[in-house]
Amino acid sequence: MNIKEVKPLKYFEKISLKLPASKSLTQRALICSALAQGVSQIINPLISEDTLLLKDALKAIGVNIKEKENIWEVEGRFPPLLSGKKIYLGNNGTGARFFIALASLGKGSYVEIYGKPRLHERPMDPLIESLRKLSSHIECLEKEGFLPIRIKEGKLVSQKISLPGNISSQFISALLLIGPCLPNGLEIFIEGQLLSKAYVDLTTNIMKTYGVEVEFFENKFKVSPSFYKPTSYEVEADASTASYFLAIPLVLGRGEIIIENYNPFSKQGDVKFLEYIKKMGAKIEILNPLGVKVSFEGIPQGIEIDLSDTPDLFPTLCILGAVAEGKTVLKGAPHLRYKETDRIKAMVTELRKLGVKVEELPDGAIIEGTKEFKSAIINTYDDHRIAMSFAILGLKKEGIKIENPECVVKSFPEFWKYIEKLYG
């Protein structure tokens, strides 16, 4: 296994970057385009392991996708073709959940869906059971409620679905995406507080762009039967990815960074990162028509953050907590334990290797900032966000080595090239 040592960034002052497109938006646009009646254009899609896996999965069920310069032309196919193929989705949890719902609309024989061992450990039961209530024919091939699965042709019906709000928002999004294709639409009732609602809002916003309206009342989503319209959709920069680079001035205690293509008014929940680092002492300047500038001098201040809507920011904020003055309390995201790895346990374990005092919580962590870091080899657990967050800390502290640095291909294949740019 490869190991990459990150060199401290000793003379950083400022840099301006243009970052890749959003993974979340690219995957949602692929599903909407696949269901649209006609040809859609996805402009500036993210090219990464996850998005390419989903693209190939859609092609396997009859969706025609042509690649042009910076554009994917997607010719929708409804119903999808169940061609008897085995479809591999790596560790793409979002793509797998969206694709399971989409394939349940299919006609033909069957498809089998599988992935890496970790994907087979990630829970799918709430989605599988909901789709079975809609008359989907899903067979779990090894363990009930988990991949691998086989989906056979069925005739989906409209039913009222209830889901607890504290599960992955991806289950809700997956069902909403196929909702307009059901005979009488779909109603989803949410029990309790809905975590990661920002990601569901992202889904409904893209559906609206493709001509489908989703109503939301207190604890209920309602989608009427309708059709996705072919659309030209331009994918904006990824707010989650941007967080690593926007954190750099605070980690180093100095400097200025501009993200040229950042949309601070995006529907992506992770734009809240700007609010979080402002509370820690960063100076934020919104640029026109797009872009943001973050500047900082000094030591960031520890804060308390509820991450129920922004769980993907947890690794970055753990790193900021490690360099901050005082304690940083991160809570509200128990579903982090079911990501590419158990991100709470992973971040706590690796921070402790570096000499950081961390208390593990069921839904987050309490981190006590320090100035004295130990050298260590960081286990990434094949999780792109673990690798990228500790790489940013390595810009401050010598002796941080990243195991399996290639795992960043999941969302940001050129991450290490961008890191090199920081050195001038």
Low-confidence ranges of the chain (pLDDT < 70): none
- Write down the pTM of the prediction: 0.95
238 is in an annotated binding site: no
93 is in an annotated binding site: yes
135 is in an annotated binding site: no
Backbone angle region of 318, left / alpha / beta, with phi > 0 → left and psi within -120 to 50 → alpha: alpha
pLDDT digits (tens, 9 = 90+) for 123-143: 999 999 999 999 999 999 999
352 is in an annotated binding site: no
Query: What number of H helices and E strands is found in the chain?
Result: 14, 25
User: How far apart, in Å, do the first and last CA atoms of the chain sit?
Assistant: 28
| Eight-class DSSP state of 145 | T
160 is in an annotated binding site: no
Which residues, 6+ apart, have CB-to-CB distance to 2 below 8 Å? 403, 404, 405, 406
Domains of the chain, CATH where assigned: 3-19+237-421 (3.65.10.10), 23-234 (3.65.10.10)
Number of Cα atoms under 13 Å in the Cβ half of residue 111: 27
23 is in an annotated binding site: yes
Residue 309 designated active-site: no
24 is in an annotated binding site: yes
**Residue 74 in 3-state DSSP?**
strand
Max distance between CA atoms of the chain, in angstroms, equals: 63
Write down the catalytic residue from 201, 312, 382, 383: 312
Q: Which of 137, 389, 141 is nearest to 248 (CA)?
A: 389
- Exposed, middle or buried by CB within 10 Å (0-12, 13-18, 19+), for 46? buried
pLDDT of amino acid 83: 92
169 is in an annotated binding site: yes
